[in-house]
Amino acid sequence: MNVIEAIGLGKRYGSTWALRGCALAIPAGHVAALVGPNGAGKTTLLNLAVGLTAPTEGMVTVFDGWPAGSPAALDGIAFVAQDAPLYRNLSVADMLHLTRNLNRRFDQGYAEARLGQLGIPMGRRAGNLSGGQQAQLALTLALARRPRLLVLDEPMAMLDPLARHDFMAAVMAAVADGGVSVVLSSHVLAELERVADYLVLITSGSVQVAGEVDDLLACHRVLTGPAAEAGSYAQRLDVVNARRGGAQVHLLVRTNGRSGSAPPGWEEHPVSLEELALAYLREPGAAALPGPSRARAVEPAEVTNWQR
């Protein structure tokens, strides 16, 4: 099952396309990271997926075919927007009361137990909680709805390191408990490395890379060798990005599973998620997308050629 599927999805604000020709299928059971530069369209895509805004063209569905924003879709999705919006003047208890009454399903016992363990007082006004507590409260309200899909937009942007860790630990524990898929956006690559097992890279309004992290890492390598030979290998290999010095060059290549293909005198290294994402972000023309079986309506886009 795909938790989010987009076909030819586009959103225009005024004369500017925030998202265009977006094709995507995020399978269930993953923690999917939506990564891209500021203004790439991450928030727009998430808002479309949760039904907060309507597409200008194309369509987006959730849970295999339910239109985003339809009652069935909304019932299964919990969304925590940027900076964890809460009613600042309501007490924690009132926030729970409100959320329970606005939703068909709400696990009051779970929410109270969890807030108790976090030491968040029920009588405190939401606006008087610390940033970390506000984020945890927003997360608790979301999880108490027992969603099948948890969508988090830049959930940790405002948090200090300890609060970030605790927040993400809580999300991961919810995943371990089973039944919930997670889609989260961030531009802090380093903190996604430990949590994401599915990567969606968005640049200037369209999807550039999508796939399981293990697959992506397995089919990319960094080859380091003499700069003079780089040109000849660049024609034979799928080079995503090259970083060169006077004598030495690092080529980030798509090996497509053929490992140990380093030419004599070249060294082959595995890539980290961060290295891989940076390489693609530096080369907006390159793409790594799943074939049509994984995401219908995605053309089997192959890596665009690199020649420079």
Partner 1 sequence: MTIDKEISPADSRVGVAPSDAADADGPASAVPGPASPIEFRLDSGSGVPTYLQLVQQVEHALRLGYLKPGDQLPKVRDVVASLAINPNTVLKAYRELETKGLAAGRPGQGTFIQATLNHVALPELTELRRSLLGWLATADATGLDEDGMVALFTSALRGFRERRGAASGDSESVA
**Residues near partner 1 (CB under 8 A):** 28-31, 109-110, 113-114, 117-118, 162, 165-166, 168-170, 172-173, 175-179, 181, 190, 193-197, 214, 218, 259-260, 267-270, 272
CB of 117 to partner 1, least distance (A): 5
Identity of the residue, 83 or 268, whose beta carbon is nearer to partner 1 in the bound complex: 268
Angle in degrees, CA 4, 185, 110, rounded to 5: 80
Identity of the residue, 28 or 52, whose beta carbon is nearer to partner 1 in the bound complex: 28
CB of 113 to partner 1, least distance (A): 6
Identity of the residue, 28 or 59, whose beta carbon is nearer to partner 1 in the bound complex: 28
Query: Are 58 and 10 within 8 A, CB to CB?
Result: yes
CB of 211 to partner 1, least distance (A): 13
In which residue are the tokens 């927007």 written? 81
Identity of the residue, 81 or 118, whose beta carbon is nearer to partner 1 in the bound complex: 118
CB of 115 to partner 1, least distance (A): 9
Distances (CA, A) of 91 to 20, 126, 213: 41, 6, 41
CB of 178 to partner 1, least distance (A): 5
Identity of the residue, 50 or 180, whose beta carbon is nearer to partner 1 in the bound complex: 180
Identity of the residue, 172 or 297, whose beta carbon is nearer to partner 1 in the bound complex: 172
Burial class (CB in 10 A: 0-12, 13-18, 19+), 274: middle
The 10 Å Cβ neighbour count of residue 1 is: 12
CB of 255 to partner 1, least distance (A): 10
CB of 272 to partner 1, least distance (A): 7
The 10 Å Cβ neighbour count of residue 235 is: 10
Identity of the residue, 270 or 291, whose beta carbon is nearer to partner 1 in the bound complex: 270
Query: In 3D, which of 109, 104, 162 has the Cα closest to residue 136?
Result: 162
Torsion angle in degrees (nearest 10) through CA of 65, 68, 71, 72: 30
Beta-strand relationship, 31-35 and 181-186:
parallel
Phi and psi (nearest 5°) for 155?
A: -65, -25
